[in-house]
Amino acid sequence: MPGLGKSSLLKNVTCFLGDRDIYKDGVIYIDFLHVQTFKESLQILNAYLKEEDYFYQSFNDNQDEFQHEIAKVKGKIMRFTKKFLFALDNIDHLVKENHE
């Protein structure tokens, strides 16, 4: 449903919540509008969740490496002990691509 202002609303809500420190571990807004593949979305998530000593290297299409990257993203999310909000915008096309 293009043009209803969903992205604008999401941006405003995440800014509102972030400014008020409601989510103690933080708020991350990521726009996936120009992301083409699910693999690329994992790279972006890893980049946003990187730790100070973490250096991201891309991975190939090997299924084990792909599952390892997913596990790495999950592990990084689990390190947050308080409230944390991911706001993922324009991700519909990636969800469809991953299920096909």
pLDDT tens, position by position, 4-27:
899 999 999 999 988 898 888 888
> Tell me: the pLDDT tens digits for 28-81?
888 888 989 888 888 888 887 775 433 334 444 556 776 777 787 788 787 777
pTM: 0.67
Tokens read off for 6: 């969903």
User: Pseudo-torsion of CA 78, 10, 16, 85, nearest 10°?
Assistant: 0
Residue 61 DSSP label: S
